């Protein structure tokens, strides 16, 4: 009878008291989760449902009315779908990738042997991270300058381009090369998942004696890990898609999904991954530019550039990116240690600002969701000829502002907490007191910048 309460207590303890080693194995505690992954039909159903929904969205987006008030594709894509993915980063890590419909068409091609089945060349592996960061930047840029959230066909083209990228790469390469190396969404989801309260990991004691490595190679005609990792190679949340294929392949019951403290991975990695060192400052700079774009005084900025939204936004974006790159570098220098013989180079300021980067993205999406949810059913009515306008409702803009600013403040406090953890752990005795205070000041300045850009 006390079991649910004990589980709740254990989870709360893990989430709210930092302990690098504390974990709760969800496969053991809630066996139905493991059963879900073991029965591959479950994922097939979810993905097939996703395939159907996304096909309909693409068709309606391209061929449906192009008036934003008469096409539900916009709210479903930007309000429901993308906001849910952003929210899922914090709880389920990269789980969306396990259900994602984009690689579906490529998997069908591969199933029928319509693929060159090539290995991904080493140079490609090396430079693809930059390409995917560039593609991510391009998506954010195009979304803002074309006002894609009011352009149904543009939204559909974006979905179509990700689908085409995943399919073309499945025709050329083995497995899901797109997902491992190129997908811009995958990169942002992977980076954000470092802050997740859950992780997909192997039980390393079981992997030590493994001779088959079926999780990576596959067995009995069932292909192995689609992103060439295998459970035994999963050390962070960046690359594993949480597709669960290896759960059924492993003979030793090693893969598991754990609950962990959300700061563990940030503290352990210390900003070691180069892509994060670019994605995070870019994302934060773009958020400031995107928040400002919605303010009345943005018209004055536009007027400075002959009324051009494209130039004004580009300048703000470049400025924001440069400021966050500089702040990340200054911050990392203040730590007094950015290289280690064993660990290599790292940027400790990146994990400090990660919570605000992803809360900022959540706030940007949440504001759109809360502002437009009341018009979703009436829009559906206008598109399909039903009189549903009387079902319109609106959420008070003051309440939306309050929710968004509260979320930003939580993100800011989380940044300060990461600093505290560094100062009382890995950087104890290395980080000077005045630098520690300066770092808190930088965090406070960034949070203030976010609140000003969002509210005024
Ligand atoms: S990496 Fe991209 S295409 Fe692949 S599963 Fe994730 S979101 Fe979908
Ligand atoms: S996860 Fe399973 S199959 Fe993979 S290395 Fe570990 S024990 Fe072997
Ligand atoms: S390690 Fe396992 S869960 Fe992760 S992508 Fe590979 S097969 Fe899927």
pLDDT in tens, 278-313: 889 999 999 999 999 999 999 999 999 999 999 999
Q: Which ligand is nearest to the CA of 226?
A: 3
pLDDT of the residue at 3: 83
User: Helix, strand, or coil here: 141?
Assistant: helix
Closest C-alpha among 254, 179, 250 to residue 215: 250
pLDDT of the residue at 373: 97
> Mean of the pLDDT values across residues 214-231?
95
Name the average pLDDT for the chain.
Answer: 93
The best mutation among 38, 203, 211, 213 to test binding of ligand 2, ranked by most ligand atoms within 8 Å of the C-beta, falls on 213
pTM for this model (two decimals)? 0.92
- For 27-31, 82-86, 271-275, which range has the lowest pLDDT when averaged over its residues? 271-275
- For 123-127, 178-182, 211-215, which range has the lowest pLDDT when averaged over its residues? 123-127
How long is the chain? 456
Say whether pLDDT at 266 is over 70: yes
CA 112, 165, 78, 180 dihedral sign is positive
- For 134-148, 246-260, 280-294, which range has the lowest pLDDT when averaged over its residues? 134-148
How far away, in angstroms, is 259 Cα from ligand 2 center? 20
> Mean of the pLDDT values across residues 166-191?
94
pLDDT of the residue at 440: 98
Label residue 261 by pLDDT band (50, 70, 90).
Answer: very high
How far is 140 from 386, CA to CA, in rounded Å?
34
pLDDT of the residue at 187: 87
pLDDT of the residue at 274: 58
Say whether pLDDT at 338 is over 80: no
Closest C-alpha among 277, 278, 301 to residue 289: 301
- Residue whose Cα lies nearest atom 2 of ligand 3: it is 246
Contact 196, 90 (CB under 8 A): yes
3-state secondary structure 37-106: HHCHHHHHHHHHHHHHHHHHHHHHHHHCCCCHHHCCHHHHHHHHHHHHHHHHHHHHCCHHHHHCCCCHHH
How far is 337 from 328, CA to CA, in rounded Å?
14
Say whether pLDDT at 1 is over 60: no
Contact 20, 264 (CB under 8 A): yes
The best mutation among 47, 179, 240 to test binding of ligand 1, ranked by most ligand atoms within 8 Å of the C-beta, falls on 179
Say whether pLDDT at 342 is over 80: no
pLDDT of the residue at 256: 97
Q: What is the residue whose two structure tokens read 């400002």?
A: 292
**Enclosing H/E stretch for 201:** strand 198-201
pLDDT of the residue at 218: 95
Q: Which residues line ligand 1 (CB under 6 A)?
A: 97, 100, 102-103, 166, 178-179, 183, 185-186, 241
pLDDT of the residue at 273: 67
How far away, in angstroms, is 367 Cα from ligand 2 center? 43
pLDDT of the residue at 389: 96
Q: Which ligand is nearest to the CA of 40?
A: 3
Say whether pLDDT at 275 is over 70: no
Q: Which two tokens stand for residue 342?
A: 């064993």
How far away, in angstroms, is 249 Cα from ligand 2 center? 8
User: Helix, strand, or coil here: 312?
Assistant: helix
The best mutation among 215, 233, 249 to test binding of ligand 2, ranked by most ligand atoms within 8 Å of the C-beta, falls on 215
> Mean of the pLDDT values across residues 256-271?
93
**Enclosing H/E stretch for 340:** strand 339-340
Q: Using the atom order of ligand 2, give the atom closest to the CA of residue 209.
A: 7
Say whether pLDDT at 65 is over 90: yes
Query: How many CB atoms lie under 10 A from the CB of residue 40?
Result: 14
Label residue 263 by pLDDT band (50, 70, 90).
Answer: very high
- Residue whose Cα lies nearest atom 6 of ligand 1: it is 97
The best mutation among 218, 237, 243 to test binding of ligand 3, ranked by most ligand atoms within 8 Å of the C-beta, falls on 243
**Residue range 343-386, pLDDT digits in tens:** 678 889 999 999 999 999 999 999 999 999 999 999 999 999 99
Q: Which ligand is nearest to the CA of 252?
A: 2
How far is 280 from 133, CA to CA, in rounded Å?
10
Q: What share of the chain has pLDDT > 90, as a percent?
A: 85
Q: In 226-348, which residue ranges form alpha helices assigned H by DSSP?
A: 245-249, 264-269, 274-293, 298-304, 309-335
**Residue range 91-131, pLDDT digits in tens:** 999 999 999 999 999 999 999 999 999 999 988 888 887 88
Q: Could you tell me if residue 203 is left (phi over 0), alpha (psi between -120 and 50 degrees) or otherwise beta?
A: beta
């Amino acid at each position: 009878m006390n079991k649910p309460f004990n589980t709740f207590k254990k989870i709360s303890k893990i989430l709210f008291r930092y302990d690098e080693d504390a974990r709760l194995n969800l496969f053991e505690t809630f066996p139905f989760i493991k059963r879900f992954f073991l029965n591959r039909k479950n994922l097939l159903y979810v993905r097939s449902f996703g395939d159907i929904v996304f096909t309909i969205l693409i068709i309606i987006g391209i061929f449906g009315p192009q008036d934003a008030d008469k096409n539900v594709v916009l709210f479903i894509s930007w309000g429901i779908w993308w906001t849910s993915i952003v929210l899922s980063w914090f709880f389920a890590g990269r789980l969306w990738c396990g259900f994602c419909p984009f690689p579906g068409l490529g998997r069908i091609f591969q199933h029928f042997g319509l693929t060159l089945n090539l290995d991904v060349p080493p140079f490609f592996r090396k430079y693809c991270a930059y390409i995917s960061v560039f593609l991510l930047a391009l998506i954010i840029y195009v979304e803002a300058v074309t006002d894609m959230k009011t352009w149904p066909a543009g939204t559909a083209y974006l979905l179509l381009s990700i689908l085409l990228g995943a399919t073309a790469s499945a025709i050329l390469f083995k497995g899901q090369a797109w997902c491992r190396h190129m997908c811009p969404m995958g990169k942002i989801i992977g980076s954000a998942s470092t802050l997740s309260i859950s992780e997909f990991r192997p039980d390393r004691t079981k992997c030590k004696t493994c001779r088959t490595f079926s999780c990576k190679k596959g067995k009995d005609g069932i292909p192995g890990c689609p992103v060439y990792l295998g459970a035994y190679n999963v050390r962070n949340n960046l690359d594993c898609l949480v597709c669960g294929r290896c759960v059924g392949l492993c003979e030793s019951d090693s893969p598991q999904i754990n609950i962990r403290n959300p700061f563990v991975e940030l503290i352990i990695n210390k900003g070691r991954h180069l892509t994060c060192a670019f994605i995070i400052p870019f994302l934060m700079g773009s958020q400031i530019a995107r928040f400002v774009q919605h303010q009345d005084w943005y018209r004055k900025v536009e007027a400075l550039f002959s009324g051009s939204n494209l130039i004004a936004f580009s300048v703000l974006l470049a400025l924001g990116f440069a400021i966050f790159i500089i702040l990340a570098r200054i911050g990392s220098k203040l730590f007094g240690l950015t290289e280690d013989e064993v660990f290599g180079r790292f940027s400790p300021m990146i994990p400090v600002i990660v919570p605000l980067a992803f809360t900022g993205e959540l706030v940007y999406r949440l504001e759109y969701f809360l502002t437009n949810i009341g018009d979703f059913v009436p829009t559906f009515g206008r598109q399909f000829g039903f009189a549903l306008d009387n079902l319109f409702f609106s959420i008070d803009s003051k309440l939306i502002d309050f929710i968004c600013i509260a979320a930003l403040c939580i993100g800011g406090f989380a940044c300060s907490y990461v600093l505290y953890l560094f100062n009382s752990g890995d950087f104890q005795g290395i980080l000077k007191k005045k630098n520690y205070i300066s770092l808190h000041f930088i965090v406070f300045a960034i949070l203030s910048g976010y609140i000003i850009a969002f509210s005024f």
